Amino acid sequence: MKSIAFVALLFCAIGFSSSNNLICNTPELDIPKEWVDMTHGCIGKMREQVLEELKASMQYMAMGAYFAKDVVNRPGVSEMFFKSASEERDHAIKLIHYLLMRGELTTNISDLIKRNLVPPVTTWENVVSAMKAALKLEADVTRKIRKVIEVCEHDTASNPSNNDYHLVDYLTGDFLEEQYHGQRDIAGKVSTLEKMMKDHGKLGEWLFDKKVQAGEL
């Protein structure tokens, strides 16, 4: 072990002493830019949406953690919210991949993902209140996705005749489709849970959680 440590220190010393000579200069590549054609307004809205998806992911993660607490103990609901957190994070990754595919994510990358994304709410009165908050969150994300579509379809500030058909089709077919199905699913769960709690109170919430955990809801 001493010999290994000595060799490691020796390499570090050599690297430090010759660090001024180990400079790698990469020449600027002459790549045509005609294929990079997204407008500034559209790029800006896409970058904003990445952050919105991550904010939603953090909020869902807070929900999952809260209902996983031993004093709350709603494992089915907790797992449902953790799954939603993963889905929102995946949405952010998809948007990043799209920007990379279009050759647009080349500057200000450090500003793309903000640090300290703290969820605004970390406790809930019951599962119903959390589910209603989740539905409002999804509706808010949906509105912002539609705003991205509007800007990318008619970014007149950058180009009066602009219409990014491919991106608009991608957001409409993939993102909005999932958003609308998700909203309907949450609304249905809220309706079912409120009816169960009206008849059975906290026992109804417990039964609802068991059904969610078993994949019956």
Pair of tokens at residue 52: 């919105």
Distance CA 200, CA 139 (A): 29
**By CB neighbour count within 10 A (0-12 exposed, 13-18 middle, 19+ buried), where does 5 fall?**
exposed
Let me know: does 85 contact 58? Beta carbons within 8 Å.
Answer: yes
Which residues define the annotated binding site for Fe cation?
53, 88, 91, 138, 179
Let me know: does 141 contact 147? Beta carbons within 8 Å.
Answer: no
Distance of CA 36 to the CA centre of its chain: 25
Pair of tokens at residue 95: 């948007």
Pick from 51, 54, 77: nearest CA to 64: 77
Which residues define the annotated binding site?
53, 88, 91, 138, 179
Pick from 8, 94, 7: nearest CA to 50: 94
Give the count of alpha carbons within 13 A of 104, CB side only. 21
Which three-class secondary structure state does DSSP give residue 135? helix
Residue the block writes with tokens 């889905």 = 87
